[in-house]
Structure 1
Amino acid sequence: MWRRVFTTVWTYLRRSPLTFIWLAVLLATTSVQHAVSPQFLDAILVHRSTNIDQLTTDPLRVIVMSLWWLDGGGDAAYWFPYAISYVIFHAPAERWLGSFRWLAIGFTGHVIATFVSEGALALAIRDGIANGSMRDTQDVGVSYFLATIVAVLTYHIARPWRWAYLAGVLVSYAVPLLVAPTFTALGHFSSVLIGLACYPVVRGKTDDQWDPAVTVRRLIRRWRHSSPEVSPVRRAC
């Protein structure tokens, strides 16, 4: 039994390798965040942040390095929700699109949304709407990449479920921007729009769609076949 479990898990991991390698690196950096002093941690994260100052001086380095850290992460408990989201969104997307296309779409969303949000912040600072100290604020994390992939997965879901999923995605990211607009919320919503705009990139993959109804029917059939049959009990005459 354990051999079968190991084989199943290994097959699942092997089909989306970059997702789980990235997740392992995030666990390692989260452990580092927990181990070092707050002062040293601030120094680490500021130099890996996609803030205005760092984007002005060394944009490529911070855009890449910011993806290896979780904003606010200090222990494995903070990492665990990200692990769940990677399994739910990134792993299926990488299997569906292939590692290269998945990485290209997510990274494009990360880059463009970063410049949209930080560009809006720079304009707000110039116009006196935002405080100038926000130029070097701590800004790391994987959420723009994730939001882009969450959005592009819309095209992997069969109709009519696709429209319910799309509505959920738009509401989840638009409401925070409307209720409490921040530059991060703008970046997240921009990521969603970028993911949806990637339809021409994934158009060749749209025949491979996931139908929740089919999945549920398969699970029910599997459960019925695995359930022990109960022999009917005859009444004595």
Structure 2
Amino acid sequence: MEPPRRGQPWWSGRNPLIWARDWVRSTPGTHIWLLVIGVTSLVIASASEGLEQFLVHRTSSNIHELNEHPLPSLLISGFWIERPASFLLYVVMFELLHANVERWVGTWRWLLTVGGAHIAATLASQELVLLAIEGHRLPRSMTHVVDIGVSYGLAAAAGLLTYRLLPPWRYGYLVAVLVFFGIPLTTGATFTDFGHAIALTMGFAAWPLTPAATAGTADEEAESEP
């Protein structure tokens, strides 16, 4: 098979099955994560109503679970979604955001960014809930609120992906991301909206982990050498 000509997309002229295989191999973290979410979504979809409620609460990273099982609740909550019917939407979002970021910065840097954002956003947002409960602005039942899902990691990936795009596309994308996450934050924000803002900010702050930042540092060091 001839390689794609200059100016053509890297996937041009390739067998779609081979392209899909190589895409999955180059983004193992994204697709392992998707596989686990697919399994847990099937579990919720096939469970009775009582078991479903037990699972979504038991796997939540809410105040009660964080106090009782801090590490498991932080990790497990990132592998469940509350509505299994939304799984296909998450597949699209994972391919657009996580897969592109993982392929660009590498699996470990991607994992550090999205994993760190998931943990930080979860802890910070639940701390806000706790403060609101102590200030009598929220009922005490919010200590058991359902807080599962992968949206914090997606928000971090969305922030980091900004640096992957070239101008002028980068600026249009940045405006769209800020509007998407900013409107809920300024119009009756929930603890989840605050969590998204924190995760997005951490994605923006992960610029030093990108190949562009690494290359820039290497170039500066080379220029400083006699």
TM-score higher than 0.5: yes
> Which residue identity lines up with residue 37 of structure 1 in the other structure?
S
1-structure distance, mates of 2:15, 2:181: 40
- Per the alignment, residue 102 of structure 1 pairs with 110
The answer (yes or no) to whether the contact 2:64–2:144 under 8 Å persists in 1 is yes
What pairs with 1:27-46 in structure 2 (closer than 5 Å)? 27-46=38-57
Unaligned 5+ segments in structure 1 are 209-237
2-structure distance, mates of 1:170, 1:191: 12
Q: Using the TM superposition, give the Cα deviation of residue 83 of structure 1 relative to its aligned residue in structure 2, in angstroms.
A: 0.3
| CA deviations over 1:92-132 (Å, ceiling 9, x no partner) | 11100101110110001001111111111100000000111
> Counterpart of 1:139 in 2: which secondary structure?
coil
1-structure distance, mates of 2:69, 2:79: 17
* TM score, norm. by length of structure 2: 0.85
The runs of at least 4 aligned residues of structure 1 exceeding 6 Å deviation read: none
2-structure distance, mates of 1:4, 1:91: 20
1-structure distance, mates of 2:32, 2:172: 31
- Per the alignment, residue 24 of structure 2 pairs with 13
| CA deviations over 1:25-56 (Å, ceiling 9, x no partner) | 11111111111111111112212111011112
> Which residue identity lines up with residue 38 of structure 2 in the other structure?
L
The counterpart of 1:69, out of the listed 63, 76, 80, is: 80
1:175 corresponds to 2:183: yes
- Per the alignment, residue 137 of structure 1 pairs with 145
What pairs with 1:205-216 in structure 2 (closer than 5 Å)? none
2-structure distance, mates of 1:6, 1:200: 34
Please, what is the CA RMSD of the aligned residues?
1.7
The answer (yes or no) to whether the contact 1:50–1:140 under 8 Å persists in 2 is yes
Unaligned 5+ segments in structure 2 are 1-13, 217-226
Q: Using the TM superposition, give the Cα deviation of residue 204 of structure 1 relative to its aligned residue in structure 2, in angstroms.
A: 4.5
| CA deviations over 1:136-192 (Å, ceiling 9, x no partner) | 111110000110011011111112321221111111101011112111111111111
Identity %: 33
Structure ID, larger Rg = 1
The answer (yes or no) to whether the contact 1:155–1:206 under 8 Å persists in 2 is no
- Per the alignment, residue 158 of structure 2 pairs with 150
1-structure distance, mates of 2:82, 2:154: 14
- Per the alignment, residue 212 of structure 1 pairs with none
1:79 corresponds to 2:87: yes
